Structures are given as C-alpha cells and as structure tokens.
C-alpha cells in the first residue's frame, strides 16, 4: 500500500508517518513543496532508526503521482467527505492520500475525486485529527481488512 502526503508542513508528523511506513511496509510519497527540509532534525528524530526501512518517493506535484500510477485506487481523506473510511474495500496496491496540516487536501483535488473521498468518523465539534494519527487510523483499517497481509505477529508466522 501507499501513503501520499500532499505538501506536508510539520516535520514531526512526517517523521511519525515514515516510522509507520517502516513498520507496515507501505511506500511513502511526499508531494512538494515540503514545509521542511528532509534533513530536518525533528523529522529524523521521529523515525531515526527506521529510515533504512522506508521506501520514499518524491513528486513535484500530485498530478505526477496520478500519472505514475494510473491503474491504482486512490482514497482521499477529508473531514468533509460523506463516507467513512471503513466503508471502503481496500486492496494491497491502494493509495491513501492526505493533505497538509493547515488546509487538508486542496478543494480542486477533492472535487475531481469526490467519489473516492472518505473521512475518519469523529465528533462534529472536533475540526480534525492530527495528520500522523489520521494516517495511522487509516493504515491499520486497510491492513485489518486485508488480514494484515504484510505483517508478522511476534512469535507467529506471517498472517
């Protein structure tokens, strides 16, 4: 599976997400411009001993991701979306797409892909989840649906 971050701004969030990708085997796609240097000490600290396990691709814009992977499913996470992320049937090659911390996914992208926009249920009074928390919730729901296809449980065979 794949995680796409469109113009992430906070190095600690991206570091946490990179660590999640290392633990799950997901590929991380970072769409420029980034709000930090990939050499940033906060980014490195969040996933310091995991960077060698992370597969990262950098893209100049989101259209470049779509162009490179035209046959994959993309799910766009937004608090504005009408359907729950749990109502989707994920596959092993899907892309989970998230926007930057201060603005989310651009409206133009959401409107072009409205039928595959999903939300993580939460109280109406809450604006949104922290980006790295949202990515974790979404990733593990997808993995759960796929019987944790890529992971081992300590002391057991791969599930």
Q: Are 100 and 122 in contact, with CB atoms under 8 Å apart? A: no
Residues 6/11/15/20 CA torsion (nearest 10 deg): -40
Q: Which tokens go with 144?
A: 């759960």
15 is in an annotated binding site: no
Beta strand residue intervals within 12-124, DSSP E: 27-31, 55-59, 74-77, 83-84, 95-98, 117-119
Alpha-carbon gap, residue 18 to 131, rounded angstroms: 12
> Residue 68, class by beta-carbon neighbours within 10 Å (0-12 exposed, 13-18 middle, 19+ buried)?
exposed
105 is in an annotated binding site: no
Binding residues: 99, 120
Binding residues for S-adenosyl-L-methionine: 99, 120
């Amino acid at each position: 599976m794949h995680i796409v971050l469109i113009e992430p701004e906070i190095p600690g969030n991206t570091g946490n997400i990179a660590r999640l990708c290392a633990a799950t085997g997901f590929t991380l796609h970072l769409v420029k411009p980034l709000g930090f240097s990939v050499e940033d000490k906060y980014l490195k600290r969040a996933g310091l001993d995991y960077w060698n396990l992370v597969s990262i691709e950098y893209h100049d814009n989101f259209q470049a991701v779509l162009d490179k992977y035209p046959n994959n499913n993309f799910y766009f996470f937004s608090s504005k979306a009408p359907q729950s992320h749990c109502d989707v049937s994920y596959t092993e090659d899907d892309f989970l797409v998230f926007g930057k911390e201060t603005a989310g996914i651009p409206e133009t992208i959401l409107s072009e892909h409205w039928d595959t926009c999903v939300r993580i249920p939460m109280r109406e009074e809450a604006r949104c989840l922290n980006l790295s928390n949202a990515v974790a919730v979404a990733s593990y729901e997808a993995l759960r649906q796929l019987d944790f296809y890529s992971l081992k449980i300590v002391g057991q065979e791969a599930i």
